[in-house]
Chains A and B, each alone.
Chain A
Amino acid sequence: MSIWKYLFNLEERRNWWMRKMPDCPLRDYYEVDFPDKDSDWRQVDYIAVDYETTGLDQKNDQILSIGYTTVRGSRIYLDEAVHILTKPTVDIPESSAVVHGILDDQAARAKPIEEALPILLSALAGKVMLAHHAAIEYHFLSNACRYLYGYPFIGPVVDTLALEVRSFRNRDKAIQAGDLRLAAARARYGLPRYPAHNALTDAIAAGELFLAQVAYREGKRQPRLKDLTVIS
């Protein structure tokens, strides 16, 4: 499928999926235009998002919690912050419970993924997904969409990890192991240390990192959205 993204741009693919798809929350998402890639970055809304999952295998692991909040006009709006626990269809492996602290009995009180996903999709409509190492968030979401609705998720994405790689390259600096971790990247911009592995805290942490990265971009002109997104 990846050949399509060289033949058609994101907006064209959005239209394609929208025409193909039956009525479902994903179709509602596709009905809203993607933000204009030539916009000043401050004119665009971003959803800084993070999940905790049962593991890192996108095909088989499942989402345990979703945290997201809005970034708009170089501010993070915490009044739009959301944290949802989602119910996995498998037991939580002990190895991942150690990391994120979500236990089976907590997860049992959570929403099933078919209730949680529409909330996230409606938040993302018309906005840009923002995450650190966004490929994980993107693919977990896309797989969940395929599983629930039979179609993949696409959308514009800002990846703070990719922005960090660019910043290293622009300064001709070699990247050492661990340099690109969220906490390490934040420390370079004087951002505080947060306890990791709560989806919402990590989402906010990524949002703050994004604000710092844009503030530190060289050049007088404010970047456009396309200067910040990853190609997808």
Chain B
Amino acid sequence: MDIELLEIRDFLAAHHPFDQLPTDALSALPAKLQIRYFRRDSTIPESGNLNNDLYLVRTGAVELRDTEGELLARLGEGDVCGYRTSSYDELAEHHGSAIEDTLIYQLPAKEVDDLCLRYPPFAYFFVSEGGNRRRDAFSNIGQADSAQVNQMTVPIGDIIHKAPISMPPTATIRETAEVMSNERVSSILIADAGGALLGIVTDRDLRGRVVAKALDYNLPIAEIMTRSPLTVDIDDYAFEAQLMMARQNIHHLPVMNGERVAGMLTATDLTKHHTTSAVYLVSDIFKQTQIESLQEISAKVPQLLLSLASAEATADSAGHVITAVTDAITTRLLQLAEQKLGAPPVPYAWIAAGSQARNEQTAKSDQDNCMIIDDGYDEKLHGEYFRELARFVCDGLDACGYIYCPGEMMAITDQWRQPLKTWKRYFHKWIEQPEPKALMLTCVFFDLRCIYGEKNLFRDIREYLLQKTRGNRIFLAYMAGNALSHQPPLGFFRNFVLIKGGEHDHTFDMKHTGIVPIVDLARVYALAAGSEAVNTLSRLEAVAEGGEVSENGARDLRDALEFVSAIRIEHQAKQIRAGLKADNFMSPDDLSHFERNQLKDAFAVVRTMQNVLSQRYQR
């Protein structure tokens, strides 16, 4: 009696997590299923106790609602719900109803347990605690340490140490191989007497073009070399070389110093090399005297992001590296402005706000900044100087691709270029007489970092505002309200993003629905705790220690942020690679089933923490 349920097996094989099962387990699985049918608008009878089976939608669509009737998820073909699919026990109490004629495959809990026991990749999907599942996924994404990241911005000349090893084109294959063997190199350059590069020979060439073809070892090496190979310049950044290798799938790049060969760069050199800081690109910035040359360097930021993505840097370290470049450009612009306009008449501090302050910039960032001037400031005497200074820097940043902030949160506007006492008045008003609309605009100023100038001005204002926000329940209630204004989607339904209330959107705004809600939560926690931390991960770490939020909650949020940010970096890297402008909008089509599930979990964490926040401050 052979059972022929190929049709069902093929369906399972095409859907996560069943795609993780080996062939024999997959073939045996259909025989363990039960099939059920629900007509449109009917309720799944087990509603309220969906935990005894795993439900897989074969065709149709199912909605899950909580006991209060709030939409929680909408499932389409290939989606699963029920046993062990959610980290939240309450989910089992949810109500399922078919919103279209629906055919369900149902797998009893004990069969799920059995498969989980036998097949770890399958079990991966079902771990009881959502946090674990996410964390495991994240650890797959970003393992790169900062050293690996930092080496990107090193010029190639600093990585290659040895003098180039080269052979004349007339040397025999055997002689060349001997030299390679003695020098313990996996590749060798072929150059003429004048040092001009003719070609390259690698171990692989010796294997493939000589040994495998039983070629005469006494032939000149020129016979088998790769002619006019791709090269890099000694002044290029290491990340440019790494990208070239990745794109062309090569592991050796001759390094040129003008017309002459300077050495050989191998993939191993790149991975072996460690430096301690990302100072190279940055130090280049400080050598520039013209806006145009700063522009040239800032134009490399998308490439830098690309290399960070291909080095699998964590989103956090990528954010720090990219922001370091912005900081350097800002600082250099201020130095150039002071050279042009003369020394400042009174002390001032240039403050970054928003994502730059938080060290969370990506390839697509506009500028948010402000200026705090010493209280000795006199509009009549000094106004002109600071106006010019701010215009020079903001225009310069805009020219470098950090476009003007649409909300005009920039030092170029008179409002945000004020003496300390005015800033204190601003914060006093925002904190003591909060207005929801004003807070929405000004919350960017609750993330501040001093970039340049008199640090004490910045410390003053920071202390002033934190001492006012710490434990200030009325203000925090307003901030909490603001933090709840960006809601993460419920998940994905077919090729739509499912938004609370059941509306659909074609693309998923990773910034506003994925990242901003977490940033907003962390800001409220930090202000409530009076923490000086500004970076979101640092804030979450600091507040968990202080008890403002549970340690598990903070950890889940950190994981969720890292995951969404990593997806965003990947998305932007893909756009840059395709020659497009990087943005924050991703189509659900571009997500794997696995990523969709991870994202759904991340959204669930954010929604849970938003609920906790709203209960804490809004009652």
Q: Using a CB–CB distance below 8 Å, which chain A residues touch chain B?
A: 67, 74-79, 81-85, 119, 189-192, 194-195, 198, 200-201, 204, 207-208, 211-212, 215-216
Contact = CB atoms under 8 A, between A and B. Distances in A.
B7 A79 contact: no
Contacts of B3: 81-83, 200
B55 to A, nearest CB: 12
A78 B103 contact: no
Interface in B24-71: 30-40, 42, 58-60
Given A83-B4, A215-B39, A190 B102 contact: yes
Most buried by A among B8, B34, B37, B58: B37
Nearest to A207: B35
Contacts of A83: 1-4
B1 A191 contact: no
B1 A189 contact: no
Nearest to B108: A79
A87 B101 CA distance: 39
Given A75-B106, A78-B30, A215-B42, A200 B35 contact: no
Contacts of A194: 7
B31 A79 contact: yes
Interface in B80-100: 100
Contacts of B2: 83, 85
Interface in B506-544: none
Contacts of A189: 37, 39, 101
Q: For the complex, would chain A's binding face be called helix, strand, loop or mixed by DSSP majority? A: mixed
5 contacts: A76-B34, A84-B1, A85-B2, A200-B4, A212-B39
Contacts of A82: 1, 3
A78 B32 contact: yes
A75 B36 contact: yes
Contacts of A212: 37, 39, 101
Contacts of B30: 78
Interface in B482-511: none
B343 interface: no
B5 A200 contact: yes
Contacts of A81: 3, 5, 31
Contacts of B60: 190
Nearest to B45: A74
Contacts of B59: 190-192
A84 B3 CA distance: 8
Given A78-B8, A190-B60, A191-B103, A216 B39 contact: yes
B5 A78 contact: yes
Interface string B195-207: 0000000000000
Given A75-B106, A190-B101, A191-B101, A211 B5 contact: no
B97 to A, nearest CB: 13
B481 to A, nearest CB: 43
Contacts of A77: 34
Contact of A208 (B1, B35, B39, B40): B35
B382 to A, nearest CB: 74
Interface string B1-30: 111110110000000000000000000001
Which 3 A-B pairs rank lowest in CB-CB distance, beginning with the nearest?
A190-B101, A76-B35, A211-B37
A78 B39 contact: no
Nearest to A71: B35
Nearest to A212: B37
